[in-house]
């Protein structure tokens, strides 16, 4: 039984089946529940994914097997475990303390802290970065009799900014790896051109310099003298061990392609795969780090958290959210809806590169302010993949970059797009600071707009022409 709908494209009569209508309805409703926070985002996505399975739209074995990208989940889990040991050792506090020593004014401290937050978020979940940094900003501002609102928001915006610079920090770059095949090195140099890391680093630095000019008054202060920067004791032995494993993990990830070629026969026999998965690298290194720390603890060589404590630090709600998101988006693909969307967008994305990338970039940026950006990026990325498989797109790389850059930077407009901002507001409220809409948007709108414009201008001659 079919329901007649208007054709998406002239000359093609497109009919949506009842299954397709149900799938689309569940997907849109789930995203709406997430956007408007009618339910916790993890619960909303789980309900949507559960309905897809219960109604027979997504076969159970496919939903839990093929639909969930377990490689991405393994990357997330592995990096969360490794960085959890680093956080427990006090490494972030070493970095923050060094920033405090170099800051002669509160405003310079905030800019440097924002810069640090951005770069840490290339390896650590941005929400965790906000949870680490925001309380320090609040206490430092309180010591000087200043409002911490601007500082906390600036740090949070910066943490969200750089998550796409490398493969490790956020879900969108990991989707580029797993769905499209981008490697770690591709985020530095891709197709012989500077890509995500250099472009975002330059635009990020310029954005912070522009925002520094917004501070009309500079408050002289010896930031390093505040107890908040000196209170945390650092476990230097654990810091050395966890840092060594972290660096080794990065090296192995950057050499994944070469290792796959060298170990092809062994991998085929052991795992059934022809290549070495990044998730296998990160999860294996995380397990080895956990085992090493447990052995050192048993020998009383290192004082550190037990593996059970580290596991409690993992954001299991995020794991469930991302898994459910994959089921929702992959069901769209399974039911042929992404193929219909690809047909609809074919004329737009097969024109000149400048027009196609500009259209996608500037349509994505405002949309992700009101739509959960991970769900949006995943859906469009799968749609672009459909166009590649249809041999419609000869070189999709500019569109991939336009999508993830605009999707990440545009999410900084609102708390709907950036969970890090929601966490920042929650921390401020818990400390007794109310943030009005006017104050909130007076910071987020200029920041997001400036970062989008700068990134577009820098990327234009390299990728969008």
Tell me, what's the pLDDT at 395?
85
What does the pLDDT look like over 141-160, one tens digit per residue? Answer: 887 888 889 999 999 999 99
State the average pLDDT over residues 213-236: 60
Sign, CA torsion 96/97/103/105? positive
What does the pLDDT look like over 45-82, one tens digit per residue? Answer: 999 999 999 999 999 999 998 899 898 889 889 988 99
Residue ranges covered by each domain of the chain = 63-464
Asked whether residue 274 carries a pLDDT value surpassing 80, the answer given is no
The first and second tokens of residue 237, run together, are 């032995």
Distance between CA atoms of residues 256 and 264, nearest Å: 11
Tell me, what's the pLDDT at 218?
55
State the average pLDDT over residues 454-460: 97
Give the mean pLDDT of the chain.
85
Distance between CA atoms of residues 9 and 65, nearest Å: 34
The first and second tokens of residue 338, run together, are 């992404």
Please report, rounded to a whole number, the percentage of residues in the chain having pLDDT higher than 70: 90
Tell me, what's the pLDDT at 6?
39
**Ordered alpha helix ranges (H), 276-352:** 278-298, 307-312, 316-334, 337-349
Distance between CA atoms of residues 373 and 211, nearest Å: 25
The first and second tokens of residue 65, run together, are 């097997």
Distance between CA atoms of residues 238 and 85, nearest Å: 8
What does the pLDDT look like over 189-207, one tens digit per residue? Answer: 999 999 999 999 999 999 9
State the average pLDDT over residues 364-369: 88
Q: Which of 124, 115, 110, 38 is nearest to 78 (CA)?
A: 124
Asked whether residue 456 carries a pLDDT value surpassing 80, the answer given is yes
Tell me, what's the pLDDT at 8?
41
pLDDT band at 187 (very low <50, low <70, confident <90, very high): very high
Please report, rounded to a whole number, the percentage of residues in the chain having pLDDT higher than 90: 39
The first and second tokens of residue 289, run together, are 């780090």
Residue whose pair of structure tokens reads 């993830």 in the numeric block = 404
Non-local (6+) Cβ contacts of 350 within 8 A are 356, 387, 392, 393
Asked whether residue 389 carries a pLDDT value surpassing 80, the answer given is yes
Non-local (6+) Cβ contacts of 4 within 8 A are 15
What does the pLDDT look like over 415-444, one tens digit per residue? Answer: 767 778 878 888 888 888 888 888 888 899
C-alpha distances (whole Å) from 126 to each of 1, 50, 271, 331, 440 are 46, 28, 33, 28, 19
Note the pTM of the prediction, 2 decimals.
0.80
């Amino acid at each position: 039984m079919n329901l007649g709908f208007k054709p998406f494209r002239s000359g093609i009569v497109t009919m949506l089946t009842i299954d397709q209508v149900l799938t689309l309805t569940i997907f849109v409703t789930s995203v709406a529940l997430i956007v408007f926070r009618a339910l916790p985002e993890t619960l909303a996505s789980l309900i949507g994914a559960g309905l897809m399975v219960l109604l027979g739209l997504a076969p159970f074995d496919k939903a839990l097997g093929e639909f969930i990208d377990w490689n991405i989940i393994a990357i997330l889990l592995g990096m969360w475990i490794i960085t959890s040991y680093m956080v427990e050792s006090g490494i972030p506090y070493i970095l923050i303390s060094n920033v405090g020593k170099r800051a002669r004014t509160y405003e310079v401290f905030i800019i440097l802290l924002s810069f640090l937050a951005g770069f840490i978020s290339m390896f650590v979940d941005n929400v965790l970065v906000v949870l680490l940094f925001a309380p320090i900003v609040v206490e430092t501002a309180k010591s000087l009799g200043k409002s911490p609102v601007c500082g906390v928001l600036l740090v949070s915006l910066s943490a969200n900014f750089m998550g796409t610079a490398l493969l490790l920090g956020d879900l969108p770059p990991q989707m580029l790896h797993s769905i499209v095949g981008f490697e770690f090195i591709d985020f530095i140099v891709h197709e012989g051109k500077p890509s995500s890391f250099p472009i975002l680093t330059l635009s990020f630095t310029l954005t912070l310099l522009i925002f520094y000019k917004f501070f009309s008054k500079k408050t002289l202060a010896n930031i390093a003298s505040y107890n908040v920067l000196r209170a945390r004791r650092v476990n230097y032995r654990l810091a050395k061990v966890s840092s060594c494993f972290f660096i080794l993990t990065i090296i192995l990830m950057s050499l994944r392609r070469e290792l796959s070629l060298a170990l092809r026969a062994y991998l085929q026999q052991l795992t059934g795969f022809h290549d070495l998965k990044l998730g296998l690298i990160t999860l294996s290194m995380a397990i080895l780090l956990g085992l090493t720390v447990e052995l050192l603890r048993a020998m009383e060589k290192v004082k550190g958290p037990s593996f059970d404590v580290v596991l409690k630090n993992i954001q299991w709600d995020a794991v469930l959210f991302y898994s459910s998101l994959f089921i929702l988006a992959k069901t769209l693909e399974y039911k042929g809806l992404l193929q219909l969307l690809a047909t609809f967008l074919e004329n737009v994305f097969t024109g000149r590169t400048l027009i196609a990338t500009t259209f996608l970039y500037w349509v994505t940026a405002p949309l992700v302010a009101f739509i959960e950006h991970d769900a949006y990026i995943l859906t469009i990325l799968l749609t672009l993949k459909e166009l590649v498989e249809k041999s419609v797109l000869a070189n999709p790389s500019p569109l991939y970059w336009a999508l993830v850059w605009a999707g990440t930077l545009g999410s900084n407009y609102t708390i709907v797009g950036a969970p890090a901002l929601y966490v920042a507001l929650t921390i401020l409220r818990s400390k007794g600071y109310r943030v009005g809409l006017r104050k909130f948007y007076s910071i987020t709108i200029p920041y997001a707009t400036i970062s989008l414009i700068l990134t577009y201008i820098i990327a234009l001659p390299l990728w969008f022409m």
